[in-house]
Amino acid sequence: MDATRLQLFNTLTRRVEPFEPLFPDQTKDGRPVVGMYCCGPTVYDFGHIGNFRTFVFADLVRRYLEFRGYAVNHVMNITDVEDKIIRRVQETGQSLREFTGHYEREFIRDLQTLLCRVPTQTPRATEHIADIIALIQRLESRGLAYRAPDGSVYFSIQKYQGCGCRYGQLVNLNFDAMRVGERVAEDEYDKESVADFALWKARVPEDGEIFWESPWGPGRPGWHIECSAMSMALLGPSFDLHLGGEDLVFPHHEDEIAQSEGAGLQAPGRPFVKHWVHASHLLVEGKKMSKSLGNFFTVRDLLAKGYTGREIRQLLLSAHYRETFNFTMDGLDGARTALARIDECVAKLTEVAGGAAPGPESSSLVRAFVTALDDDLNVSRAWAAVFDWVRETNRALAGQQLSPVQAATALAAWQQVDQVLGLGAKSTSDVPAEIVALAEERAAAKKARDFARADALRKELKDRGWVVEDTPKGPKLKPA
Ligand code: AMP
Ligand code: ZN
């Protein structure tokens, strides 16, 4: 299996390259350590399944690296201070922490519903303000940051370029139209408006009580600096992999490189990030699924329609990460059919295997699967290998050609492959695992006499299409 090596497309070099860890001598439990950062959610609302396409993809990368023998330090930040959050906090009258805490918990729960391994670390921007300030101070001391008249601090692209650094590593930029020192205060802007960007935003009346003291006066961090500060604080100034959706390439990731390499904390010749990997968008009728277009579904919308997290995961993992694909309900029904075929085959194999132990031979399924994923995570080819295997296995089962040991060997191969696909076994009852988990959480809340939480969970179960009945034998779940 080790004859081949994982190859990944790197947005930085625009080429498919072999994946090699930056620090092969750094090990954990005998495994080489890989540092991987994926830009996380802005917690002002529920995530939609477009967002989750990127996070499920990050889970695939992590699981495949783990399968390939690496110890992955998977960091995903939580953006818990930002314009939209501040606006919503003022509207709801909640504290910042109360408001973002709710959406953060729901986000992690959605990740689990989609059977993702929870990242190793999930740092919050508001808990890294000191790191952020220190990084801006360092940029200031190197002459790359300056104060604007309103008290905000900006990154100077011209000074950065003057030090021989390249702005425009991930994308080609046209600087002809750029006027020196022109500034952009927003976190999101397009390539045509490339300009100095905000590192620290001075407090304005609309911020209310949401601000931090700093050497530049009260204010809050810009979005780009958060990711530079948190990734370097947790993974060091140089790390292996940085992931995100394709919309983050510019300006977010370009600005992250400028800030992180501008701070000059890397050893000579080392980059901030070695491999930049971007997932293409999930579309609806040809357009990016997004909050602003209103063409989105959340995980809970789909659960309420009777689909499971496992089915949504299968759909989100069905296409190559560098291809956009259209979300449709038919696609989701297709995922259901695909899973049913696998589940039926696995159930029959389990029956034939009885309790037999698997034989020692290597599996053609695992070999074909690894070859496909080594090739820039070609998941569509990996699924083709899975379905070829299902077809052949079904044929052998129908002809009663499989001994218990052969069936056990086939099952073991499936389980190996499923460590990466992460589909797990089909739920044995009709109640999906995530619904059982919610019901258990509600029972625990009731026991702790936290009735508000218990009621909130009952409502959530209802929104997801389930009612809880408290019976003398304990709570029972029924479809609503
Ligand atoms: P946000 O919470 O908007 O910062 O987005 C979180 C992540 O979701 C980022 O990595 C985005 O690039 C990604 N993302 C947003 N919309 C989509 C989409 N339609 N398809 C795939 N990824 C997306
Ligand atoms: Zn980021």
Contact 31, 73 (CB under 8 A): no
Residue 302 Cβ contacting ligand 1 at under 6 Å: no
**How many distinct structural domains can be found in the chain?**
3
Residue that finishes a domain, picked among 279, 302, 334: 279
Task: Spell out a b/e string for 20-45, using b for 16 or more CB atoms within 10 Å of the CB, else e.
Answer: ebbeeeeeeeeebbbbbbbbbbbbbe
Q: Dihedrals φ, ψ of 102, to 5°?
A: -60, -50
Q: Report the separation in Å between the CA atom of 416 and the middle of ligand 1, taken as the mean of its atom positions.
A: 30
Q: How confident is the model at residue 311 (pLDDT cuts 50, 70, 90)?
A: very high
Q: How confident is the model at residue 94 (pLDDT cuts 50, 70, 90)?
A: very high
Pairing of strands 219-221, 196-202: antiparallel
Q: Report the separation in Å between the CA atom of 297 and the middle of ligand 1, taken as the mean of its atom positions.
A: 13
pLDDT tens-digit map of 176-234? 877 888 999 999 998 887 999 999 999 999 999 999 999 999 999 999 999 999 999 99
Residue 382 Cβ contacting ligand 1 at under 6 Å: no
Residue 245 Cβ contacting ligand 1 at under 6 Å: yes
Within its chain, how far is the Cα of 285 from the centroid?
A: 23
CA gap 172, 97 in Å, rounded: 39
- Does residue 339 form part of some domain? yes
Q: Which amino acid is at 449?
A: R
Give pLDDT, residue 463.
81
Domain of residue 269 covers 7-279
Residue that finishes a domain, picked among 279, 300, 329: 279
Contact 60, 99 (CB under 8 A): no
> Does one domain contain both 472 and 447?
yes
Q: Report the separation in Å between the CA atom of 50 and the middle of ligand 1, taken as the mean of its atom positions.
A: 6
Residue 295 Cβ contacting ligand 1 at under 6 Å: no
Residue 80 Cβ contacting ligand 1 at under 6 Å: no
Q: Which atom of ligand 1 is nearest to the CA of 41?
A: 2
Give pLDDT, residue 469.
86
Q: Report the separation in Å between the CA atom of 197 and the middle of ligand 2, taken as the mean of its atom positions.
A: 15
- Does residue 2 form part of some domain? no
The bound ligand whose nearest atom lies closest to the alpha carbon of 284 is 1
Residue 11 Cβ contacting ligand 1 at under 6 Å: no
The yes-or-no verdict on residue 56 having pLDDT over 90 is yes
Q: How confident is the model at residue 429 (pLDDT cuts 50, 70, 90)?
A: low
The yes-or-no verdict on residue 428 having pLDDT over 70 is no
Residue that finishes a domain, picked among 255, 279, 303: 279
The yes-or-no verdict on residue 118 having pLDDT over 80 is yes
The CA angle 114-427-401, to the nearest 5 degrees, is 115
Pocket test for ligand 1, best of 108, 247, 249 (most atoms within 8 A of CB): 247
The yes-or-no verdict on residue 1 having pLDDT over 60 is no
Q: Report the separation in Å between the CA atom of 217 and the middle of ligand 2, taken as the mean of its atom positions.
A: 25
- Does residue 1 form part of some domain? no
> Does one domain contain both 34 and 118?
yes
Give pLDDT, residue 3.
55
pLDDT tens-digit map of 345-385? 999 999 999 999 999 988 999 999 999 999 999 999 999 99
CA gap 273, 258 in Å, rounded: 12
> Does one domain contain both 194 and 255?
yes
Give pLDDT, residue 437.
75
Where are any strands of DSSP class E within 125-251?
A: 145-147, 153-155, 183-184, 196-202, 219-221, 239-245
